[in-house]
Structure 1
Amino acid sequence: MAMSSATTDRVTALKEFDSGKTGVKGLVDSGITSLPAIFHHPNIRLSIPSTTHLSIPTVDLSLPRPITVDLIRSACQDWGFFQLINHGIPLSTIENTISAVRSFHELPTTIRSKHYTRAQGATFMYYSNEDLFLSSAATWKDTLKVSFGPVRPELNQIPEVCGSELVAWDEQVKEVAREVMGMMCEGLGVSSGRLEELTCLEGRALAGHFSPPCPKPDRTLRSAAHTDVGVLTVLIQDEIGGLQVKSMRDECWVDVKPIPGALVVNVGELLQIISNDKYKSVEHRVLANSSNEPRISVGIFFSPGKRDEVDLYGPLPELISPDKSVFYRSLKMSEYAKAFRGQAIVCHCITKHVKLP
């Protein structure tokens, strides 16, 4: 079947945008005053409403461990998100990490574009919209991505302008994630090291998102509504904000208001499976930037490091008994990757693929 002229025009526009290798930042630098059609989200005004009377939980890691475990368990069950404070990482380190990501995205076009690629498996990638040619509308952001595990990269594989800061950030976040995962396990009533035994600390990918001011923030999004498909995400955001979580109870969007020094932690779909549906991976999105400054966020996504054909991931046996049904089947990481290859990010929903009848 032949493509319509509108579809042909869109594909041409996408290819032209991508071939420029300068991303959304390049559009802004060119002086555009209107939003290109490829970024229009036609149904954005029909989205569920936002609310200001709700907020995601805040967990203080300096509280006694039993209290913190209870808070984390409750947050993972009821929200799938929480903000973590008093985690031990200095505010200056967070600010340096955000600054390093901004420095890369603000490199001269001729330097930045040399790193632009869609080649999967690269240690360092720079691109705009991972699912650019798959989604119904592009989002207003550019991304740098670093693969920190299972195989740790050499520092010289990452651009000098941000390399040392991102390596240091990965090291610090891994230790916080180790502690949080331990408490999540305790909240499930299993050994604190169970997720670490499953190598859930070993697979790590860092994404540094850059969203410049948008000429029509009411017509597009910085990130469309989606869930994270891994085990756990740890994110820092600057003071501009825009991140929203879909409340499971009230079916509305809730702002994740920036707290200086806080880490935003959320449950991935693989953890929902491992926890046998006790912990929830929920939809979240990011609004387009309406401020005069770029919005920057840095997320580290944790997933299992063991990915051989014999490695299966499913509900923990400790959570299954004659009184506790199994909600999901186990799967290999290769099956996990194959299920989502060639799909838009908003279509990634691993729990639907492995849910038992």
Structure 2
Amino acid sequence: MAAPSADHTNDERLAELKAFDETKAGVKGLVDAGIKTIPRIFLLPAAERDANEGAPDPPALPLLELPVVDISAVVGGGHGDLRRKAVEQIGLASETWGFFQVLGHGVPTEVLEEMLAGIRRFNELGAAEKAAFYTRDPARRVRFNSTFDLFRTRRANWRDSFGCIVAPVPVSLEEIPVTCREIILKYSSHIAKLGETLLELLSEALGLRPSHLKDLGCNRGQIPHSDSGFLTVLLQDDIGGLQVRHQARWVDVPPVPGALVINVGDLIQLITNDRFQSVEHRVLASRRGPRISVATFFTTNDDSSSTTVYGPIKELLSEDNPQFIEKLWSAITPNTSIEKASREKWPSLISSAFQIRQ
């Protein structure tokens, strides 16, 4: 598929954005319509693309692989050396990569496969059926769209996303498409349990009691550059394309059969006082075909009724390790001052985003 110039006037761009949005058919709608070139709204301006393409490559590095941690002994209730090994591996991966993959996580293979199949079924629905779920309203608990900030971002995403907030208040069954209703609830239940286990291991890696991060409310929710929440659990198909920024290079994260990808979010970096890292990552398009992924986000949402305020864990601060919050907060929320941030209310919530890249 050819790619035209991305340069056009603001009026032209706005008209094209509105036309795309009003179809409520997403990227798949464009593909099904037989387009021959990628619309300009999905491209960066030529000058910006040329600058990126002309940048020199950083020094070559030896072949790198994302850490893979087997937590089967922990999920099975084990303690002792096997648990300590898992804690050490996850702690090191969180400090040096901000990403790792887990095996032995307790989510049955058939649940993983059916989750991907359920999202594929939704994607294959007719345009009119999917249009009923199309919205960019953040108040909607179930929503389908391509780019949630379509009229504010520099370019639209070449993907379709279906999202569902499943906790802390259970979503109404009638709101979830029947094609994937049962599996979303089943998968979310498994991931909620896995999230608690991961937070225990991360707490222990920090030298804290196992329930420390859970007690802070990091596990109450699941919702989607680095990710802005606490933790993300990613299920991906065999297409691949995920890359992680590590030591100034992009590193491929090839799918490992049966594994789930875990990444540290900005808020974990904040409350661990920069010990655990939230890093950039991206997904490249593949000629092999559409890529399906299911990302579950343990995150927060602004709510004036909440009294929760997050900051560096005091047990991690010392003269040798002073508070890092001002520098870190400016990186996470450049438009919010630390004074305002200290007054923000941050409750947790859980959601999942189910993405399909054409």
TM range (shorter): 0.7 to 0.9
Q: Distance in 2 between matches of 1:306 and 1:130?
A: 17
Kept after mapping to 2: 8 A contact 1:14/1:132: yes
Shift of residue 99, structure 1, vs aligned partner: 0.7
1:350: Cα distance to partner? Answer: 3.5
Q: How does 1:122-201 map to 2 (within 5 A)?
A: 122-201=140-219
For 1:123, give the aligned amino acid. Answer: R
Match of 1:45 among 53, 56, 59: 53
Query: Following TM superposition, by how much is the alpha carbon of 1:329 offset from its aligned partner in structure 2, in angstroms?
Result: 5.7
Equivalence for 1:295: 291
Report how far residue 311 of structure 1 moved. Answer: 1.3
* Counterpart check, 1:240 vs 2:223: no
Matched, 1:59 2:42: no
Letter in 2 for 1:62: S
Residue 109 of structure 1 is aligned with which of 127, 133, 145? 127
Identity of aligned residues (%): 38
Shift of 1:52: 8.0
Q: Which residue of 2 aligns with 1:261?
A: 258
**Counterpart AA for 1:239:** D
Report the Cα distance in structure 2 between the residues aligned to 1:48 and 1:167, rounded to whole angstroms: 47
Helix, strand or coil for the counterpart of 2:235? strand
Alignment size in residue pairs: 317
Distance, in Å, in 2 between the alignment partners of 1:190 and 1:323 is 18
Cα-to-partner distance string for 1:129-167 (whole Å, 9 max, x where unaligned): 122212212221000000112211122221111111111
Asked if structure 2 preserves the Cα contact closer than 8 Å seen for 1:104 and 1:161, the reply is: yes
Q: Is the 8 A contact 1:181 1:195 kept in 2?
A: yes
Give the whole-Å Cα distance in 2 for the aligned partners of 1:324 and 1:167. Answer: 42
State the Cα RMSD in Å: 2.6
- Superposition map of 1:322-337 within 5 A: 322-328=319-325
Residue 25 of structure 1 aligns with which residue?
28
Gap change, CA 1:174 and 1:138, over 3 Å in 2:
same
Kindly state the Cα deviation for residue 310 of structure 1 after the two structures are TM-superposed: 2.4
Contact 2:142/2:164, CA 8 A, preserved across alignment: yes
Q: 1:353 to 1:54 in 2, by over 3 A?
A: farther
Q: Of 5, 10, 15, which aligns to 2:13?
A: 10
Aligned amino acid, residue 16 of structure 1: A
How far apart in 1 are the matches of 2:202 and 2:23? 44
Instruction: Determine the C-alpha separation between the residues in 2 that align with 1:305 and 1:117.
Output: 19
What corresponds to 1:345 in structure 2?
Answer: none
SS at match of 1:148: strand
Q: What is the CA–CA distance in structure 1 between the aligned matches of 2:315 and 2:335, rounded to whole Å?
A: 23
Residue 241 of structure 1 deviates from its aligned partner by: 0.5
Cα distance in 2, alignment partners of residues 26 and 110 from structure 1: 11
Task: Return the TM-score normalized by structure 1.
Answer: 0.83
Q: CA deviation at 1:243?
A: 0.6
**Structure 1 letter corresponding to 2:245:** K
Gaps of 5+ in 2: 1-6, 74-81, 340-358
**4+ aligned runs moved over 2 Å, structure 1:** 44-52, 304-310, 321-324, 348-356
Q: Which residue is 1:34 aligned to?
A: 37
Letter in 1 for 2:199: M
After the TM superposition, which of the residue ranges 149-158 and 136-145 deviates more from structure 2? 149-158
Residue by residue over 1:226-245, the C-alpha shift from the partner in whole angstroms, topping out at 9 and shown as x without a partner, is 10000000000000011100
Name the aligned partner's letter for residue 266 of structure 2.
E
Q: Is the contact made by 1:48 and 1:252 (CA closer than 8 Å) also made in structure 2? A: no
Q: TM-score normalised to the size of structure 2? A: 0.82
Residues 162 and 75 of structure 1: CA distance in aligned 2, closer, same or farther (over 3 Å): same
Structure 1's 51 and 163: CA in aligned 2 closer, same or farther, altered over 3 A?
farther
The aligned counterpart of 1:315 is: 312
